Amino acid sequence: MRARAAQLIFVALFAVLTLAAGCAANPSATTPSPPPLDPPSADWTVDLAAFAAQDAADPPPQRPVVFTGSSSIRLWQTLAEDFPGVPTLNRGFGGSQLRDVAHYADTLAIQYRPRMIVIYGGDNDINAGRDAQQVLSDFRAVVARIRSDLPDVPIVYLSIKPSPSRESQLATQREANAAIRAEAARWPRVEFVDVATPMLDAGGRPRPELFVEDRLHMNRDGYALWRRIVAPHLK
């Protein structure tokens, strides 16, 4: 009886070790495949060419913190002075959606071998009619794409901001933010940073004093608020 029990234990241990060895030899066996992506939301050829021209004229810093995403990033022109001592690189492209960041992650971020990537997206996605689950799926695709080349680089996602011009979309924004917060917690070195809540007044409405006349893009006060929120998360 003891011999039979010992034999069964040996077989079980052998099976476990064999499975572990197989997973080590084939990492994709334990790594989920990235979700399918819809085509890019627009033709970004001109924007990508502009980034290449900027790199040629003024080489980017070594191992920068790359900021990428839509116009809230593109218009953040004070990154260097807002985060002194941190080598920053702005690769925001106005009007973009999260799936665009996934499609062009190599050009926007990976090629620079960054120390960290900060992403803002989801705002334009919802405005274009995508629902919270589609935004969540595109967020997963962005993270999976970056992780395929940069498995250890920290990723910071800035929550979808509330703005007066898109106040009717607040419920979908909240749903997407909550879903992405939960998803980010499942990934190592992926952090969800809530910039949305401090941009609401006591009644839960977007604070108009943080925005320029179009009531969509932020003014200096809006970016000053973001700077205070984001600074503790930069490395």
Q: Using the Cα atoms of residue 222, residue 220, residue 230 and residue 131 in order, give the sign of their dihedral.
A: positive
Q: Are residues 13 and 55 in the same domain?
A: no
CA 222 → CA 92, 209, 212, distances in Å? Answer: 17, 8, 9
- Looking up residue 169, the CATH number of its domain turns out to be 3.40.50.1110
pLDDT at 3: 42
What's the average model confidence in pLDDT over 1-5? 43
Task: Clarify whether residues 53 and 97 are in a common domain.
Answer: yes
Whether the per-residue pLDDT at 179 is higher than 70: the answer is yes
Tally of structural domains, the chain: 2
Please provide the average confidence, as pLDDT, over all residues in the chain.
Answer: 89
My answer on whether 105 and 183 are in the same domain is: yes
Residue 50 has pLDDT above 70, yes or no: yes
50, 132: one domain: yes
Is the same domain home to 165 and 220?
A: yes
Smallest CA-to-CA distance from 161 within 175, 179, 173 is with: 173
**Domain span including residue 150:** 41-233
Using the Cα atoms of residue 47, residue 49, residue 52 and residue 54 in order, give the sign of their dihedral.
Answer: negative
Q: What is the DSSP string of 115-143?
A: SEEEEE-SHHHHHTT--HHHHHHHHHHHH
Residue 235: what pLDDT? 77
pLDDT for position 90: 98
92 lies in the same domain as 5: no
Hunting for tokens 């926007």 — which residue is that? Answer: 108
Residue 222 lies in a domain: yes
CA–CA dist 78, 175 (Å, integer): 30
Note whether residue 36 is domain-resident.
no
Q: SS3 of 182, please?
A: helix
Residues 217 and 135 occupy one common structural domain: yes
Tell me the two tokens of residue 145: 């794409």
pLDDT tens digits for range 148-173: 999 999 999 999 999 999 999 999 99
Q: How far apart are CA 57 and CA 169, in angstroms?
A: 40
Long-range contacts of 220-225 (CB under 8 A, 24+ apart): 223/76, 223/78, 223/82, 225/195, 225/198, 225/199
| Euclidean distance between CA atoms 43 and 218, whole angstroms | 25
Q: Are residues 27 and 64 in the same domain?
A: no
Query: How high is the pLDDT of residue 34?
Result: 61
- Give tens-digit pLDDT for 111-138: 999 999 999 999 999 999 999 999 999 9
Quote the pTM value. Answer: 0.86
Say what angle helices 170-184 and 132-149 make with each other, to 10 degrees. Answer: 30
